[in-house]
Amino acid sequence: MTERLSRQEFDDLVERVRVWGRPGVPDDEPVFRRITPAVTAAALGGVRSGRTVPLGRPWAVDADVDNRHPALHYMTRLGDILADGDVEPTGYMDFIAADYHGKTVSHIDAFSHIAYGDQIFGGHSASASATGRGMTEGDVTLYGPLVTRGLLIDMAKVAGRDWVEPGTAWTRDEIAAALDELGLGPRPGDALLFRSGHDRRRAALGAWDPDAEGAGLHVSAVPWLFDRGVSIFGADGETDVRPSPVDGVTLPIHVLALTMAGAALLDNLDLETLSAACEEEGRWEFALVVSALNIPRGTGSPVNPVAIF
């Protein structure tokens, strides 16, 4: 049974990982800035084969129980003649849009995506920052391109299964054991990507409601991972386990990572091809490149991260 935390116990974790607004302590940088030029250079220096693996899921245009707001994709030009009297060339154009903060589109969350007690990272008021044109604080452009070392924590592989059942919460001890089995040791600036086998399970058994059940981290593991330098969390779900183990808090990992520590979060990644590539390459680490769309005031962005071996 998943260990539950009271609201007070969770607030104690909040104070443990918060890097801003602590009495008597100078404000700190968000932890994603542990990805320094030296960290980036070291990650790229570890590239050996040059193999690239995209981690973005296909654009999710089909409605289902896990995709209640499907992405849009339709054609806006079908070979129209470009000007009167011209016959060549013909042009084809299309339109895309997405309500991407769901359970199907691969995306990165900005700090302005999650507030706790009406505060986003740095103590800014979320309600005062929100406008019809977006958020005036904590938008996705703060990240810039992120290039660092990625580690695939393949929890399904470690468990010897095709997938981990939704609702499974990974504790600190389980994550530590998985890191040991895969021969991995986090270092400052790293991105940890957690594979539950979500997409393989969906392909085999069909969609389910991931708001009700989803595998992910137990909240008590997060301070330990921050102590080891982790700067980005990603998963083939949303990193948070569902249902939440914290009374009255739906997405406690999001709160600790985005709002309190300033880590980047990647949701809904396709980690199946990456898992196979790691097996074939014989290594579970790689350079990871993440570049959000340049959306001023945006609460995040669709992304197609790339792993490079």
pLDDT 10s digits, 12-25: 999 999 999 877 66
> Please, what is the Cα angle at 230 between 248 and 294, to 5 degrees?
85
**What pTM does this model have?**
0.96
Alpha-carbon distance 99 to 62, whole Å? 13
Q: Is the pLDDT of residue 38 over 90?
A: yes
* Cα–Cα distance measured from residue 143 to residue 290, given in angstroms and rounded to the nearest whole number: 10
State the SS3 of the chain: CCCCECHHHHHHHHHHHCCCCCCCCCCCCCHHHHCCHHHHHHHHHCCCCCCEEECCCCCCCCCECCECCCCEEEEEEEEEECCCCCCCCEEEEEEEECCCCCCCCCEEECHHHCCECCEEHHHEEHHHHEECCEECCCCHHHCCCEEEEEEEEEHHHHHCCCCCCCCCEECHHHHHHHHHHHCCCCCCCCEEEEECCHHHHHHHHCCCCCCCCECEECHHHHHHHHHCCCCEEEECCCCECECCCECCCCCHHHHHHHHHHCCEEEECCCCHHHHHHHHHHCCCEEEEEECCCCCCCCCEEECCCEEEC
Mean pLDDT of 87-108: 94
Q: How many residues does the chain have?
A: 309
Percent pLDDT > 90 in the chain is 92
Nearest 5°: phi and psi at 166?
A: -55, 145
CA–CA gap between residue 54 and residue 12 (Å, rounded): 38
pLDDT digits (tens, 9 = 90+) for 142-164: 999 999 999 999 999 999 999 99
Each domain of the chain, given as residue ranges in start order, spans 7-58+100-308
Looking at residue 279, its pLDDT comes to 98
Residue percentage of the chain with pLDDT more than 70: 97
pLDDT tens per residue, range 40-51: 999 999 999 999
* Residue 84: pLDDT over 90: no
Name the CATH superfamily housing domain 7-58+100-308.
Answer: Putative cyclase (3.50.30.50)
